[in-house]
Amino acid sequence: MGPHHPIDEALLERLPTDESAAGDEAHKPCGAKIKVEQQGAVPELLEALARVEERDNRAETMAPLMTGVGIVALIVAVAMGALFANVPAGIVAAIVGVFGLIAAWAYRTEDVSDRQLAAICTVLSTFASELRPKRPVNLAADFTGLEKTPATKDGARKIYRHDWLRLELPLADGTTARIQASSSLKRKSRAKRKYTKHKDQVSDQLTIQLIPPKGKRLSAEGKTPRPQLDGLTLTRAQVKPRQATFTFRSRSPLRRVHGRGGWSLMSAGDLIDGHKVVAAVIQSYKATATAHRGAA
């Protein structure tokens, strides 16, 4: 956008190659209640996110372990009381079982979306060298699970919507890039005899806002450029003198089903990952650059 340090598609070559778009959400909803709101340099933000990852890894290991301990202990408690008439031992086993299930629930509140966490880390790491020195980055990441947010009803479906990322990057040429990401979940539920069947559709929305340096303006004349991205559909492109806005949506949703045997993936869809966010910023930046001019 400016002559000092324009960003370009070469940044895409720095991206990791093993990032999964669907991540753990392909198998189950995430039940975290973790937020990160921090202002600072990229290394400080990555350190804070590393702590979130540690809690997530612990939760993914311990939650199923404690669930198994709880269930086995409760089975033992019933057996002790009913078959062996050993009430004291049955009470102890019941206490262990309840404790195990409570501990499993507590660990699940630290189970964040691996996809969202990886996307934020990828964006920060990729743009770290493109930022204005001594200018802080603003990060607000909300890893609350979609199911933990208020729902609205649309006929037989419940709809959940959650804004999970707000990130402000001060680019080296003076441009400010604001990144906002949200997810929506549409769920159909049907009660069966021994379980409830869920059919989920998860999709994402990504908004990139670019604010020119102080004393500069964007030209709103002519046709607004429309960046194209794999897996994302551009739904809005607007250039005003002091702000350009580009909004993208998942081209196809993630589809999963919960049945008697648990969650299963039907289609991974086109959810947001770090690659898509970086590409969206770059393409929006390039589109806006053609409209850049000095202040009148």
Q: Which two tokens stand for residue 14?
A: 């720095």
Confidence of residue 77 (pLDDT cuts 50, 70, 90): confident
Q: Which two tokens stand for residue 208?
A: 């990139």
153 has pLDDT over 60: yes
- What is the per-residue pLDDT across 183-231, written as a single tens digit (0 to 9) for each? 999 999 888 888 889 899 999 999 999 998 888 887 655 566 677 788 8
- What is the per-residue pLDDT across 166-192, written as a single tens digit (0 to 9) for each? 999 999 888 999 999 999 999 998 888
